[in-house]
Amino acid sequence: MSDKSTIEWTDATWNPVRGCTKISAGCKHCYAETFAERFRGVPEHPFEFGFDIRLVPHKLEEPLKWRTPRMVFVNSMSDLFHQAVPDEYILNVARVMRDARWHTFQVLTKRADRLHRMLGGVLAPFAKLPNIWWGVSVENRKHGVPRIALLQDAPAAVRFLSIEPLLAGLGRAFVDNGRAPRHRLGDRGRGERAGRAADGA
Ligand code: SF4
């Protein structure tokens, strides 16, 4: 959405998809939904249609125009792996991330099953690119642990976790207050990227 971000662990946000639907407990207080719904019905506003999911193809090439290297949070206002986003569109997003290799992209999802399936399939050529981090949100034992397992099993070069600390049910090893330094999951099962998903997936 913007080349500036107030999210502490990223420099910019990029939203080639807008809107989403809830999938698990961690969606209950979705910041993106609250923000988007504020503008429902406002003509010409990016969120004129509130939090209804839709593709925004004219945003696809935005990172290619940013010449300074940035940490880019992909779809802070959506979830790239939502079922309404076609495979081909996700591929187009991945192609831009590959071509804009001077940036680092953080792709965060709650749809870990689709992430896993696609990284092992059509997204395989992009899975090993060092400038694309693939991550899942961890909110509680029921939803978080299976997502971690799927992420660990995905053939990604860089993996990360976004921990939502206020939701109970996780062991202490995974709970973070949002002030921890970043860790990359470079090797299967080692460490975790701890942080807070202020919005988005
Ligand atoms: S953007 Fe994330 S938190 Fe919000 S509804 Fe979608 S998956 Fe849930």
Query: What is the distance, to the nearest Å, from the Cα of residue 70 to the centroid of all Cα atoms in its chain?
Result: 15
Cα 200 to ligand 1 centroid, rounded to whole Å: 5
Residues with CB under 6 A from ligand 1: 20, 22-23, 26-27, 30, 32-33, 78-79, 110, 200-201
What is residue 53's predicted lDDT score, i.e. its pLDDT?
A: 98
What band does 140 get if pLDDT is binned at 50, 70 and 90? Answer: confident
Q: Is the pLDDT of residue 186 over 70?
A: no
CB 173 within 8 A of CB 148: no
The dihedrals phi and psi of 140, each to the nearest 5 degrees, come to -160, 175
Given the CA of residue 21, which atom of ligand 1 is nearest to it? 5
Mean pLDDT of 74-103: 98
Helical H runs in the chain?
A: 31-37, 62-65, 87-99, 112-119, 124-127, 141-153
- If you average pLDDT over residues 97-126, what whole number do you get? 97
In sequence order, what are the residues at sequence separation of 6 or more whose Cβ sits closer than 8 angstroms to the Cβ of residue 153?
116
How many Å apart are CA 158 and CA 190, to the nearest integer? 11
The answer on pLDDT for 189 being more than 80 is: no
Q: Model's pTM, two decimal places?
A: 0.83
- Give residue 126's pLDDT band: very low, low, confident or very high (50, 70, 90): very high
Q: Where are the domains of the chain?
A: 12-17+55-174
Task: Inform me whether the pLDDT recorded for 141 exceeds 90.
Answer: no
Residue 96 dihedral angles phi and psi, to the nearest 5°: -65, -40
